[in-house]
Amino acid sequence: MTAEFSLPVRVYIEDTDAGGIVYYVNYLKYLERARTELMRTFGLERAAVSDAGWNFVVSEVSLSYKEPARLDDQLRATAVISAVGGATVNFHQTVSRDDSVLVAGDIQIACVDRGTGRPTRLDADLRKQLEATLAPTEKVT
């Protein structure tokens, strides 16, 4: 599997403000879609919800907005797994237009028990799959 997952995204009128510029929160939606589709490549049909009783939730976000996207732009949202912990997965993500990075940042998701909302360890097999995408020095124990 490749380390970076890329998803094409078209900017629609619903994504923009009155000036035709993408509203800042919509970048989070683009990044969510890329993470979700990346996690599907690991066999998670419903990438945020497991039949085993756990959910993935966003626990940390740090983004830098560099350039605006505009109505009808063709963008690319990417996701790269940057670290895997006992109950967390960290991603480095970008939204780009051609060769220009418009938004870049890091997002952490946590595995939580659906009933209690408390952190729970990642499934061992899933964790191994996720770690296999990392360079050896990037693994978190």
Residues annotated as part of the active site: 17
Which residue from 74, 75, 92 is spatially nearest to 38, judged by alpha carbons?
A: 92
Locate all alpha helices (DSSP H) within 17-123, ordered by sequence: 24-40
Element (H, E) at 75: strand 74-84
Helices and strands counted in the chain (H then E): 2, 5
The DSSP string of 104-121 is: EEEEEEEEEETTT--B-P
Asked whether 56 and 117 are in contact (CB, 8 A), the reply is no
The residue behind tokens 């020095």 is: 137
